[in-house]
Amino acid sequence: MLNRSSFLPAWDTPEGIRRSSDLFVAAYGSRPAGVWAAPGRVNLIGEHLDYNGGFSLPFALPHRTFVALAPRADEQVRLVSDLAPDAVWSGTLDDLGPGRASGWVAYAGGPAWVLRDEGVPVRGFDAAVASCVPLGAGLSSSAALETAVALALDEVFNQGALGADDAGRARLAAACVRAENEVAGAATGGMDQAVALRSTLGHALLIDSSDASVTQVPLDLEAADLTILVIDTRAPHALADGQYASRRATCERAAARLGVRTLCQVEDPEAALGRLEDRLEIARARHVFTEQGRVRRVVEAVSAGRLREIGPDLDASHASLAGDYEVSCPELDVAVEAARRAGALGARMTGGGFGGSAIALVERAKASAVRDAVAASFAAHGFAAPEFLVASASAPGGRVG
């Protein structure tokens, strides 16, 4: 029997509303106009393919970021986070543009600057942020924050026109990608924002980044008596330090050399690898080509309810990310190997890498044993104790209060 109390819990909606609203009142002395929330995410398969024009298969976590927000009649913006409840950031919408905002403020305020730049009639606002999405864990706490803010701004300034349907949510997701790229300075793709806004409860989201189209894929782990254990290695994880951007730049050079816009447009991967000469370009492209094939196999198996068959592709994905893409780290490798030894059907790092989290596909009855084995292995290696949560395919972002 799975003992969920021993894993990092997600807040229920009333708790998230209470935490963010109480922070808002404490900071500004008034009540918010509403509370909006958006989820973190786990990517089941398809890593580093979003900016290469390929497929990914993430799903929304039950762990969410809550944003209490109220509009203002002027251009002033005030932001506060539960990470530093006594430190209110204050500025204008112009102060949230590229090269001006930094740190968490860039993620919280960047969407406002982008939406205004794209013609949405955004003005000043006050906001308070509270979150149970683990920070620095590769579970997209940044996109959860961006999309929760974007949903709030759309509703209070734009009558919720964009959040009302999938086409509008795709536009909101694209605006949040701009915020992350241009304001926060992280050269990420669009997978995280798409899953936060366009998921469906009980489904993974197959994203085709070549055209931003999505397909809902039923993900019924409970029916298969399985769970996905998320292992937060607590190893430092950052996407704005140049390593992520360098991988993206190498792939773009390889694509240009092959005469395509993105690597996933290559029709004959084996021939394409033979045309490349640079060692890094060959390795990065090989990961993209093989990962694209793994996504297709996993989607086919998951769609048919054959979840127990996807373990080998999870394992192969980690090997490719560690070897060809070089985005793993000792903590991630230890987590994956320890989980497999303890009975996981498959395991791999998830997210951008360079730290962060791993996932393990585990029989529900073995989840606690796998957790204990990973924790023991971390202790034996002298690593900081990892944290664990149980992932389930949850709902997208929206207004909650």
| Amino acid, single-letter form, for residue 129 | V
- Distances 69 to 19, 33, 279, 284 between C-alpha atoms, Å: 13, 6, 49, 42
| Contact of 339 with 360, CB cutoff 8 Å | yes
By annotation, the residues acting in catalysis are 192
Taking the C-alpha atoms of residue 206 and residue 194, their distance in angstroms, rounded to an integer, is 10
Considering only CA atoms, which of 36, 396, 398, 397 is closest in space to residue 199? 396
- Tokens (6 digits) for 398: 């929206």
Query: Which residues make Cβ contacts (< 8 Å) with residue 63, sequence separation at least 6?
Result: 8, 10, 11, 39, 40, 132, 133, 134, 139, 389
- Distances 326 to 246, 258, 284 between C-alpha atoms, Å: 11, 22, 9
